[in-house]
Amino acid sequence: MKWSEVRRMYPNQYVKLNIIDFYLEGDKKIVTDVALINVIEDPKLATKELLKSKGDTIVYHTGDEKIVIELRKAIGLRGMRL
């Protein structure tokens, strides 16, 4: 399902989604196709669901024209001895 369809069907709401397709634009992931898991009416519940989300599952607000996820590089000191 296209993000524009989800926005039209569920205006101004939080939705839980599974990412189906995306493209990269620099350090950003632009999501184009999603599978709707459910609609979340309570903003506090939406935040809790977002914090529990893993992998390609996200919570997003349909007020946003595009789904843009900023990618971060993992920085760590794994294996370093001080």
pLDDT at residue 82 in the model: 54
Residue 30, pLDDT above cutoff 90: yes
Quote the mean pLDDT of the chain. Answer: 91
What pLDDT digit, counting tens, does each position of 37-61 carry? 999 999 999 999 999 999 899 999 9
Amino acid 76: pLDDT = 63
* HEC readout, 19-51: EEEEEEECCEEEEEEEEEEEEECCHHHHHHHHH
User: According to the model, what pLDDT value does residue 81 have?
Assistant: 58
- Which residue, among 37, 31, 36, has the nearest Cα to 71 in the 3D structure? 31
d(Cα 9, Cα 58) in Å, to the nearest integer?
Answer: 18
Contact 57, 16 (CB under 8 A): yes
Could you give phi then psi for residue 3, rounded to 5 degrees?
Answer: -60, -35
Residue 26's pLDDT band, with cuts at 50, 70 and 90, is very high
- Answer yes or no: are the C-beta atoms of 21 and 3 closer than 8 Å: no
